């Protein structure tokens, strides 16, 4: 469907399921000149289940301001159905920060797609615990900050990172991507940005948790390797899965071949997950995701 990107808005809704939700929402939108161009919904169970909806609508014929729309929707629809909801406007580009360590493949894939216009975000900063990738990043015109971190300095380093991320000014990014960032974020850091930090796990979860997953895969003689993109929670690598994929391998693949293939998988899986997040296609439901892709 061909629509002007700049005039597109999205409404995401989660609420208890009951009859009449679609009718109420769509009548509201129609009444106020919001032209629905995409609608996805999902219900876990029509009686007693939860209901999820994503609407894309066009804004040129809206009969009120953004603020007024928000207030009217709350008053006329959302409160009545007990909805968690939010509206976002494609023209308001999300701010996406990236944390990275030494492996550059996931980072490069994101910067590259961003540069080509495939990822409609602003990138305020890339932060790394190593200085290795500075030139790579700055070449894209993106700010790079080196924040060394070790066990002793962990708390200070995270405080420094939060500063760089704009917390003091109340301007934490909309999204942080861990593009092979090999340090564990503290619970206090993670809880500041629930369902707004995406990690790429170098394995098909649940599987091969821990160090050197490709060595584990090789030793187990698997015929497939995988990668998983998920939201970060304080429960390490157990957060809601956004996207996964696998690639076929055989006895001919040495551990280094698995690593290469794994990197290619990680690039693709992370790129898809980030795009879906940025386009407001992901709703988190407990420890699972609804992805309206």
| Choice among 40, 237, 257, 264 that is catalytic | 237
Q: How remote is the C-alpha of 192 from its chain's centroid?
A: 15
Q: Does 30 bind a copy of itself (CB under 8 A)?
A: yes
Instruction: Give, as ranges, the residues between 249 and 268 that touch a copy of itself (CB under 8 A).
Output: 250-252, 254, 260, 264, 268
**Listed residue (272, 284, 287) closest to 118, CA to CA:** 272
Beta strands at 197-201 and 175-178: parallel, antiparallel or unpaired:
parallel
The backbone torsions φ and ψ at residue 135, rounded to the nearest 5 degrees and listed phi first, read: -60, -45
Task: Compute the radius of gyration of the chain from its Cα atoms.
Answer: 21
Of 169 and 220, CB closest to a copy of itself: 220
The backbone torsions φ and ψ at residue 37, rounded to the nearest 5 degrees and listed phi first, read: -115, -10
Instruction: Give, as ranges, the residues between 64 and 93 that touch a copy of itself (CB under 8 A).
Output: none
Instruction: Give, as ranges, the residues between 220 and 249 that touch a copy of itself (CB under 8 A).
Output: 220-224, 226, 240-246
Known catalytic membership, residue 92? no
Q: Does 144 bind a copy of itself (CB under 8 A)?
A: no
- Residue 75 CB, shortest distance to a copy of itself, in Å, is 18
**Helices H / strands E in the chain, number of each:** 9, 14
- For 67, counting Cβ atoms within 10 Å of its Cβ (0-12 exposed, 13-18 middle, 19+ buried), the class is exposed
| Residues at the site binding a copy of itself, with contacts judged by CB under 8 A | 1-3, 19-20, 22-23, 26-27, 29-30, 33, 35-46, 49, 58, 61, 104-105, 108, 112, 116, 118, 139, 204-208, 219-224, 226, 240-246, 250-252, 254, 260, 264, 268, 287-291, 293
| Residue positions annotated with a catalytic role | 237
């Amino acid at each position: 469907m061909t629509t002007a990107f700049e005039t597109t808005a999205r409404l995401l809704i989660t609420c208890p399921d009951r009859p009449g939700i679609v009718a109420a929402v769509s009548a509201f939108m129609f009444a106020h000149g919001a032209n629905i161009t995409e609608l996805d919904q999902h219900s876990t169970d029509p009686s007693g289940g939860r209901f999820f909806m994503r609407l894309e609508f066009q804004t040129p014929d809206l009969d009120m301001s953004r603020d007024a729309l928000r207030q009217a929707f709350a008053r006329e629809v959302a409160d009545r159905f007990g909805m968690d909801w939010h509206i976002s406007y494609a023209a308001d580009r999300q701010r996406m920060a990236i944390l990275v360590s030494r492996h550059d493949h996931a980072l490069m894939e994101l910067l590259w797609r961003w540069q080509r216009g495939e990822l409609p975000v602003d990138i305020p900063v890339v932060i790394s615990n190593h200085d290795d990738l500075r030139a790579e990043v700055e070449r894209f015109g993106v700010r790079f900050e080196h924040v060394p971190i070790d066990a002793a300095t962990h708390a200070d380093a995270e405080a420094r990172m939060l500063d760089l991320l704009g917390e003091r000014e109340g301007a934490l990014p909309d999204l942080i991507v861990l593009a092979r960032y090999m340090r564990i974020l503290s619970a206090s850091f993670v809880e500041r940005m629930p369902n707004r930090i995406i990690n790429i796990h170098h394995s098909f979860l649940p599987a091969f948790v821990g160090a050197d997953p490709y060595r584990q895969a090789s030793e187990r003689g698997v015929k497939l390797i995988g990668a998983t993109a998920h939201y970060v929670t304080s429960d390490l690598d157990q957060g809601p899965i956004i996207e996964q994929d696998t690639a076929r391998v055989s006895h001919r693949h040495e551990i280094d071949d698995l690593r290469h293939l794994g990197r290619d998988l990680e690039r693709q899986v992370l790129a898809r997950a980030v795009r879906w997040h940025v386009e407001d296609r992901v709703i988190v439901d407990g420890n699972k995701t609804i992805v309206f892709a």
